[in-house]
Chains A and B, each alone.
Chain A
Amino acid sequence: MVTGWFTGEGDDFRLLGTRCASCRTVFFPREDTHCRNPHCAGDDLEEVPLSRTGRIWSYTDSHYRPPSPYVSDPELPWEPYALIAVELEAERIVVLGQAAPGVTVAALTVGMEVEVVPGVLHEDARTAWTTWHWRPRGAAV
């Protein structure tokens, strides 16, 4: 579905972005053609893993089933999940992602430290679509 957005497994799992060789601006999702800093003419963008951990900028959840193209089984009751926007200090960027399964908004606060972990977006008999999740640091898997 989207290639080159993350890499590795377990503790080595990282989101992948790109970085402008001229001005060092980081892009996620990856920008592969031209730097989007208006003061920079750079077009040399190198792949770079993003920080594993960051702090919560904000969070929310989804009590109603999102419409397609989000994939969910209409036969099953809707289970709300949390969304977390995370500030990565080194990159000075905020990245939104789903929380790891079982992490509810009741367990979150703005400023809390979280880490990126591999997750499954959805799966059918043939394929599991993988994604990234944010999880409070040190929380049980």
Chain B
Amino acid sequence: MTADVAVLGVGMHPWGKWGRGFVEYGTAAARAALADAGLGWPDVGSVVGAGTVRGGYPGYVAGATFAKALGWQGARVASVYAACASGAQAIATARAQILAGLADVVLVVGADAAPKGFFRPAGGDRPDDPDWLRFRLLGATNPAYFGLYARRRMAVHGDTPEDFALVKVKNAASGALNPYARYRRRVTAEEVAASAVVSDPLRLLDICATSDGGAALVLSSLDFARRHGAARPARIRAVSTVTPRFPNTVLDLPDIATDSAVAVAPPDETFRASIARAAYEEAGIGPEDLSLAEVYDLSTALELQWYEDLGLCGAGGGAKLLREGATAPGGRIPVNSSGGLASFGEAVPAQAIAQVCELAWQLRGTAGDRQVAGARVGITANQGLFGHGSSVVVVR
């Protein structure tokens, strides 16, 4: 176990398709987080930006880009790119600086302005790039991988498309209560079933959209929080950033083949399960301690997978847990009370940060109509392209 860091401030820019630059979303989120913390930007000793490949050069150096937009003030700076885990690695960087005594207060910012439709690789002919190869040779989009996982669950666990649709119904109902969500309308199972097939067996409403959005956190040492008058802040207790272990035998984005298990037996747990386990071990908690979870519902079917990987139920028990209402508001372990990616869409470098924003609001008891009663411990789970694990435990 390591020491905690305090979540002094959280902020978001509403998600949607706004057609403006990512810097604007990130700066708005940062200002909101600073105001929430009761701090001025000059009080911040370090800024960590989660990078976006779509923002051109400023996106690659997001830390400095946000620092410039907020006004150069001499802070320490870092930029982190780890695909969908960028936000979590930015949080990990900030936490390490605080725990090492390099900074008392760190601002973490992620924002994106995503294109419409499928994500696609960077330009040029690059046959040494697995992300380029999967598109060039197979036309294998992200939803194609989600479809493979969904079909595999149907074959192995007996999940049905109706089970998947229920995830969307649940998350859309929560998203309707979240002022920062892009989609704020309830959805019925009939509407999911009537939407177009994207990648069999998944339909349009099973798959998250691409969005514009931003999210930010102000993190500090517990000593600073105390001096600042925040006696009982939400606290980050663990950040998991693990890689897979060889041989990774579940076909994963962006690869077109798994590792071979001919020489080394596969590990006892999948990569996704190892992400959560590392977070639990570092936090000194288990799934039974959780009040709520924010998981990466890139597709409805994938949310069910996370239930099992987080240890909320055994292998294959995800759909049953959902049907019982355990993961719905008021259930034993509400999942995606924010509305999830189903309601937000992907703004890649922001989403792992946005998950922590939701946990902080919930643990403070300020989540309004979405409030999970008595929330004390929350976990986020997420996974980035190219083997980036990401999970954050927040406690109060």
Q: A residues near B, CB below 8 A?
A: 1-2, 20, 23-29, 36-40, 57-64, 66-72, 81-83, 85, 90-98, 105, 109-111, 121, 131
Q: Which residues of B contact A59 (CB under 8 A)?
A: 148, 151, 200
Q: Which residues of A contact B1 (CB under 8 A)?
A: none
B284 to chain A, nearest CB (A): 28
Closest Cβ neighbor of B245 among chain A residues = A38
| Cβ contact within 8 Å between B139 and A70 | yes
B392 to chain A, nearest CB (A): 26
Instruction: Give the CA-CA distance A1 to B249 in the complex, in Å.
Output: 27
| Cβ contact within 8 Å between A61 and B260 | no
Instruction: Give the CA-CA distance A36 to B186 in the complex, in Å.
Output: 47
| Cβ contact within 8 Å between B197 and A63 | yes
Tell me which of A23, A25, A61, A94 contacts B251 (CB under 8 A). A94
A1-B125, A25-B264, A58-B149 known, 6 other contacts, Cβ within 8 Å: A62-B144, A69-B120, A69-B125, A69-B136, A110-B152, A110-B156
Q: Which residues of A contact B117 (CB under 8 A)?
A: 64, 67
| Cβ contact within 8 Å between B135 and A2 | no
| Cβ contact within 8 Å between A58 and B155 | yes
Closest Cβ neighbor of B155 among chain A residues = A110
A120 to chain B, nearest CB (A): 12
Known: A38-B246, A67-B118. A60 touches B263 (CB 8 A): no
Known: A61-B147, A66-B118. A1 touches B263 (CB 8 A): no
Chain B 113-157 interface 0/1 with A at a Cβ cutoff of 8 Å (1 = within): 000011011000101000011111111110010011111100110
B269 beta carbon closer than 8 Å to chain A? no
Q: Which residues of B contact A131 (CB under 8 A)?
A: 137
Closest Cβ neighbor of B152 among chain A residues = A58
| Cβ contact within 8 Å between A58 and B151 | yes
Closest Cβ neighbor of A84 among chain B residues = B148
| Cβ contact within 8 Å between B139 and A62 | yes
Known: A36-B246, A37-B264, A94-B258. A64 touches B118 (CB 8 A): yes
| Cβ contact within 8 Å between B264 and A26 | no
Instruction: Give the CA-CA distance A2 to B140 in the complex, in Å.
Output: 17
| Cβ contact within 8 Å between A28 and B257 | yes
Q: Which residues of B contact A95 (CB under 8 A)?
A: 256-257
Tell me which of A26, A36, A39 contacts B262 (CB under 8 A). A26
A contact face: mostly helix, strand, loop, or mixed? loop
Max count, chain B CB within 10 A of own CB: residue among A40, A82, A94: A94
A86 to chain B, nearest CB (A): 10
| Interface size class of chain B, counting residues whose CB lies under 8 Å from the partner chain | 35 or more
Instruction: Give the CA-CA distance A52 to B261 in the complex, in Å.
Output: 18
| Cβ contact within 8 Å between A63 and B198 | yes
| Cβ contact within 8 Å between B136 and A58 | no
Q: Which residues of B contact A27 (CB under 8 A)?
A: 260
A83 to chain B, nearest CB (A): 6
Q: Which residues of B contact A20 (CB under 8 A)?
A: 263
Tell me which of B138, B198, B263 contacts A83 (CB under 8 A). B138
A68 to chain B, nearest CB (A): 7
Max count, chain A CB within 10 A of own CB: residue among B118, B133, B151: B151
| Cβ contact within 8 Å between A83 and B132 | no
Known: A24-B263, A25-B264, A98-B138. A105 touches B149 (CB 8 A): no
B196 beta carbon closer than 8 Å to chain A? yes
Q: Which residues of B contact A72 (CB under 8 A)?
A: 139
B259 beta carbon closer than 8 Å to chain A? yes
Q: Which residues of A contact B127 (CB under 8 A)?
A: 1-2
B199 beta carbon closer than 8 Å to chain A? yes
Give the 4 A-B CB pairs with smallest separation, nearest first: A60-B147, A66-B139, A110-B155, A70-B139
Q: Which residues of B contact A62 (CB under 8 A)?
A: 139-141, 144, 199
Chain B 231-250 interface 0/1 with A at a Cβ cutoff of 8 Å (1 = within): 00000000000000011010
Q: Which residues of B contact A58 (CB under 8 A)?
A: 148-149, 151-152, 155, 251
| Cβ contact within 8 Å between A68 and B135 | yes
Q: Which residues of A contact B262 (CB under 8 A)?
A: 24-26, 90-93
| Cβ contact within 8 Å between A105 and B200 | yes
For this complex, 25 residue pairs linking A to B, each with C-beta atoms less than 8 Å apart, are A1-B136, A23-B263, A24-B263, A25-B247, A25-B259, A28-B257, A29-B256, A36-B259, A37-B247, A37-B263, A59-B148, A60-B150, A61-B200, A64-B141, A67-B118, A68-B135, A69-B120, A83-B138, A83-B147, A92-B249, A94-B249, A96-B257, A98-B139, A111-B155, A131-B137
